[in-house]
Each structure stands twice: as C-alpha cells, then as structure tokens.
Amino acid sequence: MISSPDWVRLSFGADMVLGFSPGKFLKGALNTTINLLEYYPDGCKANCIYCGQAREVAKGPECKTLIRVEWPLRKLDDVLNRIKEREGNPEYGLQRICVGQLAHPRASPDAIEITKRIREKGIELQISELVTATYTFKQHMIEMRKAGADMIDVAIDAASKRVFDQVRGKPVRSMHRWERYIQAIDEAVEVFGKKNAGIHLIVGLGETEKEAVELIWYAHSRGAKISLFAFYPEVGTPMQNKKPVPLNVYRRIQLARWLIENDLVKLEDFTFDEEGKIVDINIPQDLSLKELAPAFMTSGCPGCNRPYSNERPGSVLKNYPWYPDEKQTLSAIKASKIPSLIKRFVN
Ligand code: SF4
C-alpha cells in the first residue's frame, strides 16, 4: 500500500534540492532543511480551515497542496538515498530533516519509524519532529528522541484559544483541543530539553497582535522556541478569501519574537492600542541595527530556512532565509510602522 512510513511527501524545495524536480531557488536561498510530510490514503483526520490537507477540503489524499505548493509523493527509501548522497556536500548545504505529521492515528508510530530509518541509513543530519499534539503524547516524544530526533515543534498554529477554536476546533468540525496543545508544549520541553522544543505560530489567522505576543511570551517562559509563519490563503479552503497577513503586522510580531526570545524585553515593554495592536516597544538603548537584523530571518530550528514558504517568489520576503543586509533591515523596520524605532534607526 502506498502510505507512510514507506512513502512520504516532500516539500517542493526539498524535492528540487534532492533532484527529483528540476530547478533551483534564487542564489543565497538554498533549501537547507528537507521537509517530509506523512502520507495516508485516507488523508488527514482534522479539518483546520486554513489548511489544504483538511478533511473537508482534500476529500481524501488527492489534494497535495500545503502552503500553496505541491508536495510530491516519494518513496522514503529513494529520498533517504539521495539525502545520503548529498549530505556534507556544500553545494546543497543540507543541515536538517523535518519529519512532519498529519492528524492521523498512525502519525506518531510512523514518525518514529521514519526517524529510525533515517538513522539506520547512517544519515547524520539533525532531525526535527513537527507534531500534532492530538496524536502525539509524551511516550511518543520519548520514542522519537530514542530513535534519533534532536528537536521537536508542536504545531499549535493559532495564538489563543479563541482563534484556535475558530480555525481548528469543534466549531469547524475539527477535533483539536487548545488545552492538549498547551500541555504538549511542556511535554516536549521535558523530553527534548529547553530550546530543543518549540511551537509553530501562524500570524494572521485572526488573532490580535497582543494575543500573538502573549503566546510567544508564554512559550518562551516554558522553555520553548518559536517558529513564525505568515498566513497566506490556500485556494480551496474556507479561508481562501482572507487576505495574507499584512507586512506591517508580521514585522512587528517578528520584532516581538526576537526581542522576547533573546530576553531583551519584558511584557511591560510592549504598548498596545485598544485593538491589541503593538504601537510601541521599549527596546534596549544600546541595540544596534546590525544586532536587530536577525529578527527578520526565518525562525525555528537551526538550519530550517524555508525559502518562499510564506510568499510568492518576487514579493517582499516575510522570512529572510539569509542574514538581511542593512538596506533590508532598515526597510523591515520602516515596514513595522513603529514610530520610535523608525525615528531611531531610519530617520
Ligand atoms: S522549524 Fe522547520 S525544522 Fe523545525 S519543526 Fe518547524 S518546519 Fe520543522
């Protein structure tokens, strides 16, 4: 049967890097993580309304899009052979493999098996597990670690219980529960250790900026790192007509994430307006422009740069897959529309 663990989907970037699909990203944007996604003929069991894999959108396994691009189906063994051939070759720059789950009863045992097979092949790249907490419990996390995984991210995606329920909970005929995801963050940190566990947060699903900052603060206070994603509507989903997250909002949340994760601010350093929008951040006086630059880079596990996973090639990069230069950093600060930062760095 064509199904995980013997078969997996590959992100389009990973498919190109491994030479299954022709093409290359722009220079400087090597796809340094190989993102694998599980595959099941009966598809994903959940119904998150922003996702192309959702039960009522995909109607089975045929729909192959996720974050707007096709995820080609490949034999795991072929994928691992190609990774083994390319590992250590600077031309490809591979750093990490990410084992991504669907919401499916087999999700965790198969992720563990895929991780074992990566190590049995003798591949030494770092391995991350991207888990759905509904089907991944602490014991699975322990098994993932034993099998050879180094890091784990809990794909909570939404910034608050309010938004979580609206886009992935009961009201949209989906079975995910906010409380289980919050519990899984602590389990992930316990099993993998501080900073080796994290969350995925999608900005633009309907949260206020205050809610996003509070979740980032909470995750950081529990020892978890934060991987930020910018919402971009997926055709065919109930959210297909919702606008992508505005650049100014994303830039403010990127700044908040970076400042919080680097312990440079406290929650009291953020000023919000009555709608929960960030209007000011009290940043340390000695922070230089160069030091702020990485705030606008892709965040998450080291080596996971996800080029063009948040926008179409040609538009402004929301997550820079490289260290932004001075011009890019200035333009990102300007885009944040935070007057005090613009006055200090741009004018
Ligand atoms: S940050 Fe990248 S490697 Fe880490 S879990 Fe997320 S997608 Fe996977």
pLDDT of residue 196: 98
Tell me how far apart the alpha carbons of residues 208 and 121 are, in angstroms, rounded to a whole number.
45
The whole-number average pLDDT for the span 123-135 is 98
Tell me how far apart the alpha carbons of residues 293 and 270 are, in angstroms, rounded to a whole number.
19
Residue 120 has pLDDT above 90, yes or no: yes
- Tell me the CA–centroid distance for residue 63 and ligand 1, in Å: 22
pLDDT band at 121 (very low <50, low <70, confident <90, very high): very high
pLDDT of residue 63: 46
Q: Is 202's C-beta closer than 6 angstroms to any atom of ligand 1?
A: no
pLDDT of residue 202: 97
Nearest Cα to 114, choosing from 62, 75, 84? 75
pLDDT band at 67 (very low <50, low <70, confident <90, very high): low
Q: Is 225's C-beta closer than 6 angstroms to any atom of ligand 1?
A: no
- Tell me the CA–centroid distance for residue 230 and ligand 1, in Å: 14
Atom 8 (ligand 1) nearest CA: 98
Residues contacting 229, CB < 8 A, separation 6+: 157, 200, 201, 202, 203, 309, 310, 319
The whole-number average pLDDT for the span 271-289 is 97
Tell me how far apart the alpha carbons of residues 217 and 193 are, in angstroms, rounded to a whole number.
18
Contact present, 165 and 171 (Cβ < 8 Å): yes
Q: Is 11's C-beta closer than 6 angstroms to any atom of ligand 1?
A: no
pLDDT band at 118 (very low <50, low <70, confident <90, very high): very high
Higher pLDDT, 53 or 119: 119
pLDDT of residue 22: 82
Choose which residue among 304, 305, 309 to substitute to test ligand 1 binding: the one with the highest number of ligand atoms within 8 A of its C-beta: 304
pLDDT of residue 293: 97
Residue 175 has pLDDT above 50, yes or no: yes
Tell me how far apart the alpha carbons of residues 197 and 187 are, in angstroms, rounded to a whole number.
9
Tell me how far apart the alpha carbons of residues 101 and 92 are, in angstroms, rounded to a whole number.
25
Work out the mean pLDDT of the chain and round it to a whole number. 93
For 207-256, the DSSP string reads: --HHHHHHHHHHHHHTT-EEEEEE--PPTTSTTTTSPPPPHHHHHHHHHH
- In CATH, what number does 7-245 get? 3.20.20.70
pLDDT of residue 82: 97
pLDDT of residue 44: 92
- Tell me the CA–centroid distance for residue 329 and ligand 1, in Å: 24
pLDDT of residue 59: 58
Q: In angstroms, how far is CA 176 from the centroid of its own chain?
A: 18
Tell me how far apart the alpha carbons of residues 52 and 232 are, in angstroms, rounded to a whole number.
12
Q: Per-residue pLDDT tens for 241-269?
A: 999 999 999 999 999 999 999 999 999 99
pLDDT band at 13 (very low <50, low <70, confident <90, very high): confident
- Tell me the CA–centroid distance for residue 294 and ligand 1, in Å: 17
Q: Per-residue pLDDT tens for 25-47?
A: 655 567 899 999 999 999 999 99
Quick one: which atom of ligand 1 is closest to the CA of 227? 1
Q: Is 43's C-beta closer than 6 angstroms to any atom of ligand 1?
A: no
Neighbours of 38 (CB within 10 A): 24
How far is the CA of 284 from the CAs of 258, 260, 311, 326, in angstroms?
13, 12, 31, 19
DSSP 8-class letter at 101: P
Residues contacting 257, CB < 8 A, separation 6+: 216, 226, 228, 295, 299
Residue 2 has pLDDT above 80, yes or no: yes
pLDDT of residue 306: 84
- How is the chain split into domains, by residue range? 7-245
pLDDT of residue 21: 85
Tell me how far apart the alpha carbons of residues 230 and 313 are, in angstroms, rounded to a whole number.
14
